Amino acid sequence: MIEVQHLTKRYGRVTAVDDITFRVERGEILGFLGPNGAGKTTTMRVITGYMPATEGRAVVAGFDVFSQPIEAKRHIGYLPETPPLYPEMTVREYLTFVARIKGVAAADRKSRVLQTMERTRVADMADRHCGKLSKGYKQRVGLAQAILHNPDVLVLDEPTAGLDPKQIIETRELIKELAGDHTIILCTHILPEVAQTCQRVVIINKGRVVAIDTPDNLTTRLHGSNGIYVQLEADPGHATAVLQRVPGVARVSESDRRDGTVGYEVESQEGQDVRRELVREIVANDLGLLELRPIRMSLEDVFLNLTREEQEPAPAPRPEAPDSTEEAYD
Amino acid sequence: MTNVLAIAERELRAYFASPIAWMMIGLFALLAGVFYVTTLAYFVQASMQMDSFAAMGQAPQPLNINQQLIRPLFLNVSVVALFMLPMLTMRTYAEEKRSGTIELLLTSPLTDWQIIMGKYLGALTLYAVMLLVTVVHVGVLFFYGEPEWRTVVSGYLGMLLMGGAFLSLGLFISSTTKNQIVAAAMTFAALLLLWTVSWFADSASPTTAAVLRHLSIIEHFDDFAKGVIDTGHLVYYLSFIAFGLFLTAKSVDTERWRG
C-alpha cells in the first residue's frame, strides 16, 4: 500500500532523511519511531506529498506521490504534528470545508461529516469554533479531518499528543479499529503506544533506518543473553561469589542495594535457562531470596539502545562520564 | 473550479469572521467619504464662483462633474487602496504557514493553481465589496446632477484592475514569508516604488522616461478615471496580475522544495 524507496531529503547541506526504504502492507499499522529531529516528520511530509524528496520515491496506493500527486493525495489522510485547524471556523464548517477539498461528493458531505464527528467523539463540539477547543478536542478534530474522506492510507503524526489518559485509550482503540480497512503509519515517540497498536515498527535515527521488525522481535532480538533479576537478603560479597559459581551463569552484576537487600542482574550464557540452578544454590546457601524474575528489555531500552549505538560508534570506547568531568575540573 | 470556489469561500469566511473585513470596509468607506466630501466642497465652491462670474457678466468656464469631481475622487480613492490593500493580502499565505494549515492544503488533492486562484478570488471579492460601498457616494451625484455614467463605470473598472494588481503582488509577497507584518510592509514598499517610479521620469532620458512611465502602476489608471478604456492599460493591469500570480506559483513551488 505504501512503498518508500531509497528516500533521501536534504535541506541545503543538511541531510534530514538518508536513504530510507520500507513498505507497509494493506491493513497494517506501522509504527514510526525516532528521537526528535530524526527525520520522522520529514518522511511523513514526503509520503503525504507536502514536499518532494531529493532522491528516491514514495508510492501510495499505486500512485507516485511526486509524479501523480492528485491521485495519490486522494488516497491519503494526514494528521500533521499540529492539527491544521482554522480557528475562525466551527468544527462542522471546518470539516465540511475539508470534505469539499478532499473531493467528497456534495450529497454525502453532510452525513459524512456527522458520522466522522461521532466516530472521533467531537460531535458535542460541532458548533464551537476550532480556535476555542481544548488541546484534546483539537487533536481529535485533526484526526477527524484525516479520516473524513475515508482514505486508504492514514499518516498520523503523534495523534495522542495532548490527550488525557482516557482519550488516549479511546484514540488508540479508534486507530486499531481503523486499521481493518486503512493502512496506517503511526508516527510517535510514545513507546507503549507502538507496543500496543503497531504490528511492525520502523526505528529511525539521524535520518537512517536502524531497525524494522515487530515490537516483540525487537524486544527479544537485541537481548543477546537472558537476564535474570534476583533480590537477596544477604552479605553481598558472599552472595556474588555463590551466584557466579552457578553453572551457565556468564556474568553477575549488582544493580541496587537498599537496607539489607541487594539486587543482582544475572546474565546467563546464550540459550541457557539457569533459573532452576540459581534457586537451588540460593536456597542451599540460605541467601534469603526475596525476588527472582526474568529481565525483558522494554521497547524503551531497545529504542535507546539502537539510537545510542548510532550516535557513538561501538568500537570507540568512551571515557566514563565522571572521569571526564573530573578531568575538566583539574 | 469547485475547489477554487471552496478556497475562495473559506478565505472570505476568514476575512469576515475576523475584524479584518469589517475594519477594511469601514475604513475604506470612511476615507473615501472624507475625500468625497472635500472634493465635493471644492466643486461646489468652484460652481458658486462660476455663478458669480455669470452674475457679473463675465463668461463662466463650463464645469464638468466627471472631470472635476469624479476623476479626482477616483485618484484619491486609489491612494487609499494603495495603503489598505497590502493589509488584505498579508495573511493569505503567511498565516497558513505560521499556523500549519498550509499542510492541509498542500496534502489535499488540490493543485497549486487552485489554491492560488481561490485565495486571489477571495481577496478580490472583499475588495469589490469595499468598492461597492463607495458607489453610494457616486450614486448621490446622479441624484442631484447629470454625470456621464460610462465614465463612472470605466473608473470603477480601473479601480478594480489596479487593486487587482496590488492584490496579486501582495499574494506573492505573502507567500514568501511566515510573518504577516513583513508581508504587509514589503507589499506596501513594493507598491509605493511602482507607484512613484514615474517621478524619476522627469529627469531621465526620453527612452528611460517612457519605460518608467509605462512601469508606473498609477500612470495607467488616469485614463480609466477620465473615462477612456485603453487596451494598452488593460493589458498592463491584466499582465501585471498574471505575473503576480505566476510569481506566487513559483514561490509556493520553491518553498515546497526547500521545505
- Chain B interface includes A49 (CB < 8 A): yes
Interface of B with A (CB under 8 A): 2-3, 6-7, 9-10, 13-14, 17-18, 99-111, 256-259
**Percentage of residues in chain B having pLDDT higher than 70:** 100
The alpha-carbon gap from B227 to the nearest alpha carbon of chain A, in Å, equals 42
Lowest mean pLDDT among A317-321, B22-26, B90-94, B170-174: A317-321
> How many residues in total does chain A contain?
330
* Mutation site, B103, B119, B255, B256, interface A, largest A CB count within 10 A: B103
Strands A29-33 and A183-188: parallel
Cell readout for A150 is: 475515508
Which residue of B7, B110, B256 is in closest CB contact with A52? Answer: B256
Range 98-117 of A in CB contact (< 8 A) with B: 98, 100-103
Structurally, what CATH architecture does the domain formed by A224-295 represent?
2-Layer Sandwich (3.30)
Cβ count within 10 A of residue A196: 14
Q: Which amino acid is at A270?
A: E
Identify the closest residue of chain A to B102 by CA–CA distance.
A84
Task: Look at the domain A2-75+151-220 and name its fold.
Answer: Rossmann fold (3.40.50)
Per-range mean pLDDT, top range of A294-308, B10-24, B217-231, B236-250: B236-250
Using a CB-CB distance cutoff of 8 angstroms, which residues of chain B are in contact with residue A9? 259
Q: What is the DSSP string of B42-98?
A: HHHHHHHHHHHHHHTTPPPPP--HIIIIIHHHHHHHHHHHHHHHHHHHTHHHHHHHH
* CA gap B114, B110 in Å, rounded: 6
B180 has pLDDT over 90? yes
**Which helix (H) or strand (E) element contains residue B103?**
helix B102-106
- Of B163, B140, B164, nearest to B152 by C-alpha is B140
pLDDT at A1: 86
CATH 3.30.70.260 residue window(s) in chain A: 224-295
- pLDDT for A315 equals 44
Residues of chain A with Cβ-Cβ distance to B2 below 8 Å are 100
pLDDT of residue A325: 38
Eight-class DSSP state of A164:
-
Chain centre to alpha carbon of residue B14: 20
Position B127 confidence tier, pLDDT thresholds 50, 70, 90: very high
CB B118 within 8 A of CB B124: no
> Other CB atoms closer than 10 Å to residue B218's CB: what's the count?
17
User: What single letter denotes the amino acid at residue A311?
Assistant: Q
Length of chain B: 259
SS3 of residue A268 by DSSP: strand
Q: Give chain B positions within 8 Å (CB) of A51.
A: 256-257, 259
Cβ–Cβ below 8 Å for A97 and B6: yes
Give the start-end residues of each E strand in chain A.
Answer: 2-11, 14-24, 29-33, 55-60, 63-64, 76-79, 153-157, 183-188, 200-205, 208-213, 227-232, 249-258, 261-268, 289-295
Lowest mean pLDDT among A218-227, B90-99, B183-192, B227-236: A218-227
ipTM of predicted complex = 0.89
Which grid coordinates belong to A112?
459524512
Is B99 in contact with A87 (Cβ distance < 8 A)?
Answer: yes
Asked if A93 reaches chain B (Cβ–Cβ under 8 Å), the answer is yes
Q: Which amino acid is at A93?
A: E
The predicted model scores a pTM of 0.83
* Contacting A residues, span 132-171, partner chain B, CB-CB under 8 Å: 145
DSSP assignment letter at B201: G
3-state DSSP call for residue A259? coil
Residue type, B199: W
- Mean pLDDT for chain B overall: 91
Mean pLDDT by 10 residues, chain A (330 residues): 91 89 90 85 92 92 92 94 93 96 93 94 93 91 94 91 84 85 87 82 88 78 66 82 84 82 82 82 86 74 69 43 39
* Domain residue ranges in chain B: 2-258
Tell me which residues of chain A, numbers 299 to 328, contact chain B at a CB-CB cutoff of 8 Å.
none
pLDDT of the residue at B25: 94
Closest-CA distance of chain B to residue A97, Å: 7
Phi/psi class of residue A101: alpha, beta or left (left: φ > 0; alpha: ψ in -120 to 50)?
alpha
The verdict on A52 touching B (C-beta cutoff 8 Å) is: yes
Q: What is the pLDDT of residues B106-117, one digit of tens each?
A: 999 999 999 999
Q: For residue B101, which of B89, B114, B92 has the smallest C-alpha distance?
A: B92
Could you tell me which chain A residue has the CA closest to the CA of B1?
A101
